[in-house]
């Protein structure tokens, strides 16, 4: 019999967690559940009534891995309560994205994933990232007839061949991920040291990597390092910030970022994720 672990579904809505553009290593099943692979762990996440059921994971797997992955130590009820006091638009976004959580994912995987994300579309990003795991990673397990693979280390990815790169269909980004994987594998950039850096210092440090600019760096810091004061400014955040917080059109991402931190404070990155999801799902500012 397959192992399972069950916990309360308060502040935990799988589709709002997985379908908000922070994670790409999952499949939605026919019953609405999500099968997710992270590091060398695999499980299926299903919401039934007031419960979340993890299949393929037991209490020990939860305590050792998934609890941290889902950032279960963070109190999202309190967070939403604080956000509601700050601003009515943010309150609307938190209600819309009820149960959204910002995950703690692998830093190297985030680096490669968000380099690929630049000037790209979410379905294509998902395809490319999963193909990298399939080509260069190891088999983690199987669920519902589908095989799941771990994301490769920098050492492994740095040995990808030209032919394999072709298969990824990531266009001009192939030289970015190759050079970045090499810089990390050969220790020119130390990913561990980033944990101890202030967010702005870390952003600058990450921007040394080919294909990493300020926005991608913020995504890496928010989704991979748990730095909640990283505030990625993309097209959607630009739209939503202009809609609510600027009287005249603001295009400068640096100033939008500053405004976000000024309004939303030390957890601005979490606010950003609600706003991003809200703006994109409602196609805010389109025509």
Of positions 35, 117, 130, 228, contacts DNA by CB under 7 A: 117
Q: Is residue 28 a contact residue for DNA (CB under 7 A)? A: no
Of positions 41, 173, 227, 257, contacts DNA by CB under 7 A: 173
Q: Is residue 121 a contact residue for DNA (CB under 7 A)? A: yes
Q: Closer to DNA at the Cβ: 101 or 173?
A: 173
Residue in 198, 215, 199 with CA at minimum distance from that of residue 272: 215
Residue in 197, 199, 198, 151 with CA at minimum distance from that of residue 177: 151
Residue found under tokens 């980004």: 173
255-284: which residues touch DNA (CB under 7 A)? 272-273, 276, 280
Q: Closer to DNA at the Cβ: 119 or 247?
A: 119
Which span (64-72, 135-143, 184-192, 207-215) binds DNA, by CB under 7 A? 207-215
CA distance linking residue 99 with residue 11, whole number of Å:
4
Q: Is residue 123 a contact residue for DNA (CB under 7 A)? A: yes
Binding footprint of DNA, residue count (CB under 7 A): 40
Q: Is residue 214 a contact residue for DNA (CB under 7 A)? A: yes
Q: Is residue 59 a contact residue for DNA (CB under 7 A)? A: no
CA distance linking residue 161 with residue 59, whole number of Å:
40
Of positions 74, 84, 124, 156, contacts DNA by CB under 7 A: 124
For the chain, the straight-line distance linking the first and the last C-alpha, in angstroms and rounded, comes to: 53
Positive or negative, the Cα torsion across 197, 199, 205, 210? positive
The total number of residues shown for the chain amounts to 287
Q: Is residue 32 a contact residue for DNA (CB under 7 A)? A: no
Tokens describing residue 266: 């030390």
Of positions 119, 161, 187, 247, contacts DNA by CB under 7 A: 119
Of positions 213, 245, 281, 284, contacts DNA by CB under 7 A: 213
Residue in 260, 262, 239 with CA at minimum distance from that of residue 251: 239
Residue in 76, 78, 60 with CA at minimum distance from that of residue 17: 76
Q: Is residue 207 a contact residue for DNA (CB under 7 A)? A: yes
Identify the active-site residue in 46, 215, 227, 238: 215
Q: Nearest distance from residue 269's CB to DNA, in Å?
A: 9
Residue 215 annotated as catalytic: yes
Q: Is residue 188 a contact residue for DNA (CB under 7 A)? A: no
Beta bridge partners of 54: 5, 45
Q: Closer to DNA at the Cβ: 3 or 204?
A: 204
User: Using a CB cutoff of 8 Å and minimum separation of 24, what contacts does 32-39 make?
Assistant: 35/143, 35/144, 35/146, 35/148, 37/133, 37/140, 37/141, 37/148, 37/149, 37/150, 38/65, 38/69, 38/105, 38/106, 39/65, 39/106, 39/150, 39/151
Q: Closer to DNA at the Cβ: 57 or 237?
A: 237
Q: Is residue 171 a contact residue for DNA (CB under 7 A)? A: yes
Q: Which residues are catalytic?
A: 215
Using CB under 7 A as the criterion, which residues of the chain lie in contact with DNA when the complex forms? 20-22, 117-125, 169-173, 176, 207, 209-217, 219, 232, 234-237, 252, 272-273, 276, 280, 286
């Amino acid at each position: 019999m397959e192992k399972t672990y069950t916990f309360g579904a308060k502040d935990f809505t799988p589709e709002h967690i997985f379908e908000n553009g922070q994670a790409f290593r999952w499949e939605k099943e026919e019953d609405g559940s999500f099968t997710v692979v992270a590091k060398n762990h695999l499980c299926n996440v299903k919401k039934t009534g007031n419960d979340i059921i993890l299949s393929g994971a037991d209490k020990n797997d939860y305590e050792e891995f998934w609890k941290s992955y889902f950032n279960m130590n963070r109190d999202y009820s309190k967070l939403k309560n604080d956000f509601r006091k700050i601003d009515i638009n943010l309150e609307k976004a938190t209600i819309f994205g009820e149960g959204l959580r910002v995950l703690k994912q692998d830093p190297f995987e985030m680096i490669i994933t968000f380099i690929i994300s630049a000037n790209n579309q979410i379905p294509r990003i998902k395809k490319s990232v999963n193909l990298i795991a399939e080509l260069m990673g190891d088999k983690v397990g199987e669920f519902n007839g589908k095989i799941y693979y771990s994301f490769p280390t920098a050492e492994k990815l740095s040995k990808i061949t030209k032919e394999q790169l072709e298969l990824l269909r990531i266009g001009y980004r192939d030289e970015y991920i190759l050079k970045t994987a090499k810089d990390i594998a050969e220790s020119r950039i130390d990913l561990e040291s980033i944990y101890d850096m202030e967010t702005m210092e870390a952003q600058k440090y990450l921007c040394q990597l080919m294909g990493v600019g300020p926005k991608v760096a913020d995504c890496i810091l928010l989704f991979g390092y748990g730095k909640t004061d990283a505030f990625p400014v993309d097209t959607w955040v630009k739209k939503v910030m202009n809609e609510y917080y600027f009287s005249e059109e603001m295009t400068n991402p640096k100033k939008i970022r500053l405004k976000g931190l000024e309004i939303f404070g030390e957890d601005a990155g979490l606010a950003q994720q609600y706003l991003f999801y809200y703006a994109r799902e409602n196609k805010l500012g389109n025509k």
